């Protein structure tokens, strides 16, 4: 992974570019020691795996919707937000960095989403 202070992660030219909503989140997700301090070892490993899946995808449409990744759109926000599962009842919540491209019928065109901003790691009870 990219070492801080870079505020984003971009492993390949044809991969989804990953930005972070704030410096604290970027530091935590880019530094294994901080990640392991913030979460148990299993959750930290799952977070790293999901970040690798996101970083390896060419577009958001390439992120698997089936387990264990489980990309899904969150329905509670007016803006299009998504999440992937990261074990221990946690999810990585993110949104397209630029306005989400739409298809003619108004649905999101996930094949055109090539940059995301990670907003938070949330715990579900």
**2 within domain boundaries:** no
Residue 8 domain-assigned (yes or no): no
- 4 inside domain: no
Q: Are strands 115-123 and 90-96 parallel, antiparallel or unpaired?
A: antiparallel
pLDDT of residue 3: 34
3 in a domain, yes or no?
no
Question: Domain range for residue 105?
Answer: 15-123
pLDDT mean over 52-65? 92
Q: How many domains does the chain have?
A: 1
Q: What is the CATH number of the domain that holds 26?
A: 3.30.2310.20
Q: Is residue 55 part of a domain?
A: yes
**Is 6 inside any structural domain?**
no
Q: What is the mean pLDDT of residues 50-72?
A: 91
Q: What is the pLDDT of residues 83-107, one digit of tens each?
A: 999 987 899 999 998 888 889 998 8
């Amino acid at each position: 992974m990219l070492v801080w202070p870079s505020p984003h992660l971009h492993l390949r030219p044809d991969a989804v570019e990953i930005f972070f909503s704030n410096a604290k989140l970027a530091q935590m997700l880019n530094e294994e020691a901080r990640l392991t301090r913030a979460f148990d070892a299993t959750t930290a490993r799952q977070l790293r795996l999901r970040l690798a899946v996101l970083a390896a995808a060419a577009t958001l449409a390439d992120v698997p919707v089936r387990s264990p990744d489980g990309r899904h759109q969150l329905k509670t926000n007016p803006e299009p937000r998504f999440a992937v599962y990261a074990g221990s009842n946690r999810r990585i919540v993110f949104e397209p960095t630029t306005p989400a491209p739409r298809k003619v019928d108004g649905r999101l065109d996930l094949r055109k989403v090539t940059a995301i901003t990670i907003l938070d790691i949330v715990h579900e009870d």
